[in-house]
Amino acid sequence: MGHRHGLPRRAGWGSALASLLCVASVASAQTPDPDFYRGKTIRLIVGAAPGAAYDFAGRVVATHLGRYIPGQPSIVVENMPGASSIIMLNHLYNRAARDGTAMGMSLSGVVHERRLQGLSHNGSNVQFDIARMNWIGTPAQQPFIYIVWGKTPLQTFKDLVDSQATFATTSQGGDNWVMPVLTNQLLGTRIKLVAGYKGVNDIFLAMEQGEVQGTGVVLSSLLGKEDWMRDHKARVLLQFGVTRNPAVKDVPTAIELATSEDDRRMLAAYATKFRTTYPIMMPPEVPPERVKMMRTAFDAAMKDPQLIADAKKFGIDVDPVSGEDIGKIVAELDALPQPIVDRLRKLLEQ
């Protein structure tokens, strides 16, 4: 009798032992390995051209972040511009390493892509799902602004309504194309877009040479031009943000100038993305413990006095948003009422 009862008991012990081993295996897989990054190099792929705001932000982060990652790996910046960061995002999602040694920094419009398809227009060239990206954080929240060359007759936002202005743009889908399209229809501006410029530096040169009167840029791009600020070579006529940025506190926001509640809601929904100005992400399937390790390191690095000082040199005021909070912002945008999404998409198709 004891022998018959003993068999199930031993089988029970075996089952329990197998369960414990399984739990131990899972726990081990989720335990951060402090030596994983030691001696390794992390690629930070920036989806913008060298020598402009996104490139500067990426290089500031790369210079300091490694000190806060266990093992202190080196971080190198690679520029992969094109198609409003879609080329970089497709690469990061489909070809980059998924072991935690690859990250990307894209244009902020990526957070709208699932609903608006603002970067791609119809989604045909998008080979990624941002819902599966692992968000690490953004070092700053900065508004997009309209600037004009100081020698033009354009003095205030009203002049953009009363007369035609020529603005340079890089490509359809970037903010320097999207925002004029929106303000032409919602605020009555008469901006004529001149496309084909490779990046902000080319656009700034075109402004200086009189090819165009102005453009739209991230605020830090202007703040980084010390002579332009000091000598009043350019004027800021409008900013896009939920509230006024202190650096341009006398410049109205597009939301303030909207004449209907529906227009204000649409502009506010679109302006949400400027809370994630320089979004940094890892591709899908990176081990969760390494994502957590990178988020922790990023949050700590954003308090580094030297990082803050270096960012200031490029006109970037460090005002970070965590990876977890970027995920919440993306979720909020995914939950936008369909009528707002439909109207925004219709406006962007004009």
In which residue are the tokens 């990426």 written? 58
Write down the pLDDT at residue 117: 73
Q: Is the pLDDT of residue 1 over 50?
A: no
Taking residues 25-29, what's their average pLDDT? Answer: 43
Report the CATH number that the domain containing residue 307 is assigned in CATH: 3.40.190.150
Taking residues 285-299, what's their average pLDDT? Answer: 98
Q: Is the pLDDT of residue 136 over 90?
A: yes
Asked whether the beta carbons of 77 and 59 are under 8 A apart, the reply is: yes
Neighbouring C-alpha atoms within 13 Å toward the C-beta of 213: 18
State how far the Cα of 221 lies from the Cα of 174, in Å rounded to an integer.
15
Residues 261 and 197 in one domain: yes
Tell me whether residue 253 is in a domain. Answer: yes
Residues 93 and 112 in one domain: yes
Instruction: Indicate the pTM of the whole model.
Output: 0.78
Residues 199 and 99 in one domain: no
Taking residues 143-148, what's their average pLDDT? Answer: 96
Q: Is the pLDDT of residue 29 over 60?
A: no
Tell me whether residue 34 is in a domain. Answer: no
Asked whether the beta carbons of 109 and 277 are under 8 A apart, the reply is: no
State how far the Cα of 30 lies from the Cα of 289, in Å rounded to an integer.
6
**Residue that finishes a domain, picked among 250, 272, 294:** 272
State how far the Cα of 283 lies from the Cα of 291, in Å rounded to an integer.
10
CA 167 to chain centre: 23
Neighbouring C-alpha atoms within 13 Å toward the C-beta of 84: 24
Write down the pLDDT at residue 119: 67
pLDDT band at 169 (very low <50, low <70, confident <90, very high): very high
Look at 241 and 119; give whichever has higher pLDDT.
Answer: 241
Residues 107 and 227 in one domain: no
Report the CATH number that the domain containing residue 244 is assigned in CATH: 3.40.190.10
Q: What is the pLDDT of residues 30-61, one digit of tens each?
A: 566 889 999 999 999 999 989 888 999 999 99
Phi, psi dihedrals of residue 44, rounded to the nearest 5°: -110, 105
**Residue that finishes a domain, picked among 233, 254, 272:** 272
pLDDT band at 175 (very low <50, low <70, confident <90, very high): confident
Q: Which residues contact 299 (CB under 8 A, 6 or more apart)?
A: 137, 320, 322
Write down the pLDDT at residue 199: 85
State how far the Cα of 61 lies from the Cα of 39, in Å rounded to an integer.
19
Q: List the 144-149 sheet strands across, edge first.
A: 191-194, 165-168, 214-218, 144-149, 234-240
Q: What angle do CA 176, 182, 188 make, to 5 degrees?
A: 115
In which residue are the tokens 């030297």 written? 306
State how far the Cα of 28 lies from the Cα of 339, in Å rounded to an integer.
47
Beta strands in 22-156 (DSSP E): 41-46, 74-79, 102-105, 134-138, 144-149
State how far the Cα of 75 lies from the Cα of 282, in Å rounded to an integer.
14
- Give the DSSP letter string of 179-229: HHHHHHHHT---EEEE----SHHHHHHHHHTTS-SEEEEEHHHHHT-HHHH
Tell me whether residue 6 is in a domain. Answer: no
Residues 137 and 150 in one domain: no
3-class SS shares of the chain: helix, strand, coil, % to 5: 50, 15, 35
Residues 149 and 265 in one domain: yes
Write down the pLDDT at residue 109: 82
**Residue that finishes a domain, picked among 240, 272, 304:** 272
Tell me whether residue 36 is in a domain. Answer: no
Write down the pLDDT at residue 6: 39
Tell me whether residue 254 is in a domain. Answer: yes
Tell me whether residue 8 is in a domain. Answer: no
Kindly report the three-state secondary structure assignment for every residue of 79-106: ECCCHHHHHHHHHHHHCCCCCCCEEEEC
Q: Residue 166 is part of which domain span?
A: 144-272
Asked whether the beta carbons of 219 and 315 are under 8 A apart, the reply is: yes
Look at 8 and 188; give whichever has higher pLDDT.
Answer: 188
Tell me whether residue 1 is in a domain. Answer: no
Average predicted confidence (pLDDT) for the chain: 88
Total domains, the chain: 2
Asked whether the beta carbons of 66 and 72 are under 8 A apart, the reply is: yes
